[in-house]
Amino acid sequence: MREVAPFFLVGPTAAGKSAVAQWIAETHGYDVLSADSMLIYKGMDIGTAKPTPADRERVTYHGVDLAEPDTEFTLGDYLRESQAALRGRGSGDKALLVVGGTGLYIRGLLQGLDATAPPDAAMRAEFEALFADEGVAGLRAALERLSPAWLSALSDPENPRRLIRALEMASAGMKEPPTGWSAATPPPSPMPGLAVPPERLNGRIEARVHRMYADGLLDEAAALLERYGELSRTAAQAIGYAEAFDVLMARCTREDAIRRTIVRTRRLAKRQRTWFRHQLNVTWIDVDEAADIEQIGEEVIEHWRRHGGTEIAS
């Protein structure tokens, strides 16, 4: 394990994390570990806003291009692939910057892959979607229906992380908690996150989607279908690609696909903001319209100077 804990930078999609991380890595000598579940797929570059080849010539990236898009890729796969970077075997003694917005990956890095948790990312995503839609009350009601014993065992039934953990365990067949069980986990040290006002973030998302199409997303999607035929469920439903495939299959128009991609991306950003507010200890850095990447980057670095890195699971 590295002597220095990795440094995290989080936030919703289109907040500018990647550009800030690239600037920090180039100017201050960091390696970068992506915590984005779509950047793991080879050949899916335009629709995921993957670092460009030029970016990757100047900075060493980990967590990118790990899997063919016709294969399933789990949290456990990601954590195993990340070990070289986390243990300092990336590019010498450089510090590591973890950047991304996939809560499942970030939580996995912080807490590890609990052997008692069901290896079903879809199940956790379902509970997190319930939390996003109905809040803590929805989680409590679901746990009450599934297993009152688990609900009564919680020392903090207002904590969404503990409620989701209990729902996972109960759904996996454990109708009551084992003796001495606790869902408590030590809170992670504060990490910086980029906050963009929703209206401006929506504008950024719309501009990004139009740029993706202008940069050749449909051609990239066609090349994926030609090479792989059928993609994995996750890759096939990726935001932007699912809509591009529909255009290629004449199931919708280009304009409809752009509109649907914008809507799905905005919903994702909203879910991410909710998740970070309730699941992590985030110090938000307001991304002012007039602030440039260097200014934001310096604020991020100043946060790390004050608080240090974030300890991860061994």
Task: Tell me the three state secondary structure of residue 207.
Answer: helix
pLDDT, tens digit, for every residue of 270-313?
999 998 988 889 999 999 887 899 999 999 999 999 999 998 87
pLDDT, tens digit, for every residue of 89-129?
555 678 999 999 998 899 889 877 654 455 466 777 788 88
Q: What is the mean pLDDT of residues 166-187?
A: 65
CA end-to-end span of the chain? 7
In terms of Cβ atoms closer than 10 Å to its own Cβ (0-12, 13-18, 19+), residue 293 is middle
Q: What are 148-155's contacts with CB under 8 Å, separation 24+?
A: 149/175, 149/176, 149/177, 150/175, 150/176, 150/177, 153/177, 153/181, 154/183, 155/182, 155/184
Residue among 282, 271, 204 nearest 12 (CA)? 271
What is the second-level CATH architecture of the domain 198-270?
Orthogonal Bundle (1.10)
Give the pLDDT confidence score for residue 127 in this predicted structure. 86
Average pLDDT taken over every residue of the chain: 88
pLDDT, tens digit, for every residue of 251-263?
999 999 999 999 9
Task: Tell me the three state secondary structure of residue 198.
Answer: helix
Per-residue confidence at 314, pLDDT binned at 50, 70, 90? low
Domain ranges of the chain: 7-113+187-197+273-307, 121-171, 198-270
- Give the global pTM: 0.79
CATH of domain 7-113+187-197+273-307: 3.40.50.300
Give percent of the chain above pLDDT 70: 89
Residue among 61, 8, 66 nearest 37 (CA)? 66
Give the pLDDT confidence score for residue 112 in this predicted structure. 74
Cross-strand bridge partners of residue 192: 283
